[in-house]
Structure formats: C-alpha cells, structure tokens
C-alpha cells in the first residue's frame, strides 16, 4: 500500500533551507528518487515559517522505505541533519485508493 510521509525540518538562521540545498547539491536527492519504490521526493517551503522545510516523501510500500532506511545514504542524511542542527516533525498518510476522490473533481480547476 502506497503512503506519503511529510517531514518538517526546522532549524535556525536558514539552516533548513541550507540542508535541503546540500541534499540536492550532493546528489542524495536524485539517488533517493532513483530507488526502487520511491514515488516522490520533493522539498517545499512554508510561506509562514522561513525556518522550516517540508519534505514530501512517497513510497510504494513499507518494504521500499525499509530498504531506503537501511541504505548507506541514510548515514549521509543523518550527518547533514546534524550539521545543520535540524529538528523534525513527521506525519504519515496512507494513499486513498477508494475512488471517492472523483467526488471532488468539480472543485478542481485544471
């Protein structure tokens, strides 16, 4: 079952944005996106909180995420989190495959 994890990285003096840029510049982001089972890995910046970066991270199933967590790149990610002294808040959402989403189509402008 596919799911999405929202990870809010919060720091001070722009450190969360520096972390996200370091993740991109180092190639870790592209490596994660290339992992089997990764569906999405993107950073966003909340308008009302300049010290937080939101990572939207989606996976095909728990096994794919477990393999990611066991990969050598997790040590690199941990080192960068420590370097930028970030704190995290995590939310996990399971994808809705019920088909009920079509009920909202009249509210969506494409």
Check if the beta carbon of residue 39 is closer than 8 Å to that of residue 59. Answer: yes
What is the C-alpha end-to-end distance of the chain, expressed in Å?
27
Q: What is the pLDDT of residues 78-87, one digit of tens each?
A: 999 999 999 9
DSSP structure class, residue 110: -
Count of positions (residues) in the chain: 110
Digit-coded pLDDT (tens) for 16-73: 999 999 999 999 999 999 999 999 999 999 999 999 999 999 999 999 999 999 999 9
């Amino acid at each position: 079952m596919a799911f999405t994890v929202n990870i809010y990285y919060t720091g001070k003096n722009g450190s969360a944005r520096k972390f996200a840029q370091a993740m991109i510049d180092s190639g870790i982001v592209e490596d994660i996106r290339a992992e089997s089972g990764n569906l999405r890995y993107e950073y966003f910046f909340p308008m009302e909180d300049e010290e937080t970066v939101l990572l939207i991270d989606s996976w095909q199933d728990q096994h794919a995420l477990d393999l990611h967590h066991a990969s050598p790149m997790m040590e690199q990610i941990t080192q960068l989190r420590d370097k930028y002294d970030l704190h995290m808040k995590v939310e996990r959402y399971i994808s809705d495959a019920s088909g009920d989403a079509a009920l909202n189509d009249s509210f969506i402008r494409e």
